[in-house]
């Protein structure tokens, strides 16, 4: 069975500082991994995804994530935080290749201080 | 291109009343998902449709929840009767799946249900 753990339900950074949101996964098959962002009262928007190939994945809004199989991690980073990055971020793993089911972590709320 | 449309956006009902949510997926998307998102939690899949067939409804509480996707396009999720614990956001998503693999799911804005 697949599962996702996001370390830290709340992360606070200063504007311009590095953003690091942690995600660890458990999967019995090679995982497909996703990061979604959710702004207040909106649906989830895909930031980036890893399926196969290059382990460093670049997404929208300057975010990137690195798949590390040995650490079962898929941490999300951004070099310089903007106020507009304040939102909730969800890491997800694809249940298996033939179900289409996404299994989400609990989410991390990112606060950006001026 | 229009995104996933959901209505209503907000709904307040008394317990034991019925409620229905509607979802119109992105045009051409063959797969439709209903997720439940409790406060402070990630979404959890309730049901997944491939065209008009419910292919994964193992997490749907069938004693009070029902769903349909007539003609393989829009979908309705119903709760009857609603309980206080059903207060949550109900998200609809859609994707275009061709064979196996990971396909991006596009989410609607959700319906926030409050049961009093």
pLDDT for res A17: 98
Q: Do B43 and A44 touch (CB under 8 A)?
A: yes
Residue B46: band (very low, low, confident or very high) from pLDDT cuts 50, 70, 90: very high
Closest-CA distance of chain B to residue A41, Å: 7
pLDDT in tens, A75-94: 999 999 999 999 999 999 98
Mutate to test the interface with B, among A42, A48, A101, A105 (most CBs of B within 10 A): A101
A19 Cβ partners below 8 Å, 6+ apart? A11, A13, A63, A76, A77, A78, A79, A81, A85, A110
Q: Say how many residues make up chain A.
A: 114
- Whether residue A38 is predicted with pLDDT greater than 90 in this model: the reply is yes
Q: What tokens does A65 get?
A: 């994530």
Q: Name the residue facing B31 among A34, A45, A100 (closest C-beta).
A: A100
- Listing DSSP states for B56-95 in one string gives E-TTS-TTTEEEE-GGGS-EEEEESS--GGG-EEEEEEEE
């Amino acid at each position: 069975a697949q599962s996702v753990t996001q370390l830290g339900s709340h992360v606070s950074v200063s504007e311009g500082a590095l953003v690091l949101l942690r995600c660890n996964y458990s999967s019995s098959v090679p995982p497909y991994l996703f990061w979604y962002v959710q702004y207040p009262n909106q649906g989830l928007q895909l930031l980036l995804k890893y399926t196969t190939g290059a382990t460093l994945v670049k997404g929208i809004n300057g975010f990137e994530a690195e798949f590390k199989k040995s650490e079962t991690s898929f941490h999300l980073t951004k070099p310089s935080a903007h106020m507009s990055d304040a939102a909730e971020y969800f890491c997800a793993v694809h249940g298996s290749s033939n179900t289409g089911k996404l299994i989400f972590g609990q989410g991390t709320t990112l606060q950006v201080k001026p | 291109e229009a995104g996933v449309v959901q209505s209503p956006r907000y709904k307040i009902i008394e317990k034991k009343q019925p409620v229905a949510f509607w979802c119109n997926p992105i045009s051409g998307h063959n797969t439709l998902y209903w997720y439940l998102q409790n406060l402070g939690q990630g979404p959890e899949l309730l049901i997944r449709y491939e065209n008009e067939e419910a292919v994964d409804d193992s997490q749907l509480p069938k004693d009070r929840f029902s769903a349909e996707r007539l003609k393989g396009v829009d979908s309705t999720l119903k709760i009857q009767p609603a309980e206080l614990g059903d207060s949550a956001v109900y998200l609809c998503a859609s994707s275009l799946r061709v064979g196996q693999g990971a396909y991006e799911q596009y989410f609607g804005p959700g319906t926030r249900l409050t049961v009093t």
